[in-house]
């Protein structure tokens, strides 16, 4: 049975901690310049309807480090739902590749790809969710603080796809998440309802308010994102007015804990949602979280692509002698 990563909500807490353990191991091996080709001969298709720096580069580099290959499909290359149906695209790709990463405007596109593909589908960003980003963020906080339970995170800005995934991530990992956004820009209502229900089991707390100072007060982490996400550019002027007062500035940092960590999923619009002083200042861990996208996504790829496809005929499978690599297994070519 194949598995997809569409939402953090679909993961068990134990699965997330396993990702983090594997990511830490792979990160250490990379720092030590030790090869770790855990996916030899595997191929990953990258379907991108939106432009990307971090998501594209980190998935491509991840596959190279893991001994596989990534094939990038730009918006003009495939045009799922226009040039051909999502169903046909998914079924064709499944005959050629071992996994698919999709970055789409419409979340339903990712869900339909997962429904019709016989290989794992990973949500590389949709209009609703950005699970890989937030898994990388959570790993970064685990790495920096040694824990996630009880951390207070102030998310300042738009209740967008990153914010939605933060709701699920906080609920899973026992975090106190306070989202401060202008009225009318709250996270998706259904996501909030489901995250709040799950938070009861993990002793997490999730709040949505409209006061950035209150969200920042006593926060261990201040998180922000652009005020105008991709696809919403026609609303930029209105959003610039509505989000006044929601900038992560030094004044807001000073309300938080003395050792507060500042995060941003990038790209940043400097001088809008965050100041240069804060983004480049001593509290910023923004580049660390960007780097960790690579390591966490490697862990995801190894977990989802590293097993034999059950539907593959036995006579077509290749079995290699194996050597131990800590808790994981490295095939010997």
* 274, 224 Cβ separation under 8 angstroms: yes
Of residues 279, 179, 185, the one with CA closest to residue 219: 179
pLDDT of residue 50: 87
CA–CA separation, 303 and 264 (whole Å)? 27
CA–CA separation, 101 and 119 (whole Å)? 11
Q: What is the full DSSP assignment across 82-132?
A: TTB-HHHHHHHHHHH-SEEEEE-SSHHHHHHHHHH-SS-EEEEE-SS--HH
pLDDT of residue 319: 31
Residue spans per domain, the chain: 8-129+290-331, 133-285
Positive or negative: CA dihedral 301, 306, 310, 316 = positive
* CB atoms near residue 309 (< 10 Å): 15
Check whether domain 133-285 has CATH 3.40.50.1370, yes or no: yes
pLDDT of residue 307: 63
CB contact set of 282 (below 8 Å; sequence gap of 6+): none
pLDDT of residue 320: 31
pLDDT of residue 331: 47
293 is catalytic: yes
CA–CA separation, 112 and 152 (whole Å)? 35
pLDDT of residue 328: 52
Catalytic pick among 25, 54, 133, 142: 133
130 is catalytic: yes
Token readout for 324 is 């131990």
CATH architecture entry for 8-129+290-331? 3-Layer(aba) Sandwich (3.40)
pLDDT of residue 298: 98
CB contact set of 215 (below 8 Å; sequence gap of 6+): 154, 155, 156, 178, 179, 180, 209
CB contact set of 23 (below 8 Å; sequence gap of 6+): 139, 292, 295, 296, 298, 299
* 173, 149 Cβ separation under 8 angstroms: yes
Catalytic pick among 9, 36, 107, 130: 130
**On the CB side of 116, how many CA atoms lie within 13 Å of its CA?**
15
29 is catalytic: no
Catalytic pick among 220, 225, 289, 297: 225
Helix axes of 131-145 and 13-31: crossing angle, nearest 10 degrees: 70
CB contact set of 235 (below 8 Å; sequence gap of 6+): 228
Hey, what's the torsion of the CAs at 5, 173, 155, 304, to 10 degrees?
A: -20
pLDDT of residue 78: 79
Q: Tell me the CA distances in angstroms from 156 to 100, 199, 237, 259, one per residue in order.
A: 32, 20, 19, 18
225 is catalytic: yes
133 is catalytic: yes
pTM (2 d.p.): 0.92
* Beta strands at 322-325 and 121-125: parallel, antiparallel or unpaired: unpaired
Catalytic pick among 265, 283, 289, 297: 265
Positive or negative: CA dihedral 69, 325, 132, 144 = negative
Q: What is the full DSSP assignment across 242-302?
A: HTTT--B-HHHHTTS-TT-EEEE-S---BTTTB-HHHHTSTTB-HHHHHHHHHHHHHHHHH
pLDDT of residue 10: 96
Ordered mean pLDDT values, 10 residues apiece, the chain (333 residues): 94 97 98 97 96 96 98 86 88 97 96 97 98 98 97 98 98 98 98 97 96 98 94 91 98 98 98 98 98 98 76 32 45 42
Of residues 22, 93, 63, 71, the one with CA closest to residue 303: 22
Catalytic pick among 36, 176, 239, 293: 293
């Amino acid at each position: 049975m194949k598995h997809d990563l569409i939402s953090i909500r679909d993961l068990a807490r134990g699965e997330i901690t396993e990702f983090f353990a594997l990511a830490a191991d792979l990160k250490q091996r990379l720092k030590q310049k030790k090869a770790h080709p855990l996916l030899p001969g595997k191929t990953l298709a990258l379907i991108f309807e939106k432009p990307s720096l971090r998501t594209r580069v980190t998935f491509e580099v991840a596959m190279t480090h893991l001994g596989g290959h990534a094939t990038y499909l730009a918006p003009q290359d495939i045009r799922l739902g226009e040039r051909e149906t999502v169903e046909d695209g998914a079924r064709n790709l499944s005959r050629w590749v071992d996994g698919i990463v999709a970055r789409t405007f419409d979340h339903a596109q990712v869900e339909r790809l997962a429904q019709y593909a016989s290989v794992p589908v990973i949500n590389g960003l949709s209009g609703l969710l950005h699970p890989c980003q937030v898994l990388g963020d959570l790993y970064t906080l685990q790495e920096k603080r040694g824990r996630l339970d009880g951390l207070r995170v102030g998310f300042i800005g738009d209740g967008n796809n990153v914010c939605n995934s933060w709701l699920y991530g906080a609920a899973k990992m026992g975090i106190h998440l306070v989202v401060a956004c202008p009225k009318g820009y709250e996270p998706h209502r259904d996501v909030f309802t489901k995250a709040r229900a799950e938070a009861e089991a993990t002793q997490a707390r999730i709040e949505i308010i409209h006061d950035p100072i209150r969200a920042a007060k006593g926060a261990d982490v201040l998180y922000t994102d652009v005020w105008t996400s991709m696809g919403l550019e026609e609303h930029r002027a209105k959003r610039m007015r509505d989000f006044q007062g929601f900038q992560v500035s030094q004044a807001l940092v000073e309300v938080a804990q003395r050792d507060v960590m500042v995060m941003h999923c990038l790209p940043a619009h400097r001088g809008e949602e965050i100041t240069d002083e804060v983004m480049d200042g001593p509290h910023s861990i923004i580049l660390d979280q960007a780097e960790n996208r690579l390591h966490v996504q490697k862990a995801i790829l190894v977990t989802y692509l590293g097993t034999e496809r059950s539907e593959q005929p036995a006579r077509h499978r290749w079995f290699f002698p194996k050597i131990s690599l800590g808790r994981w297994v490295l095939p010997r070519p």
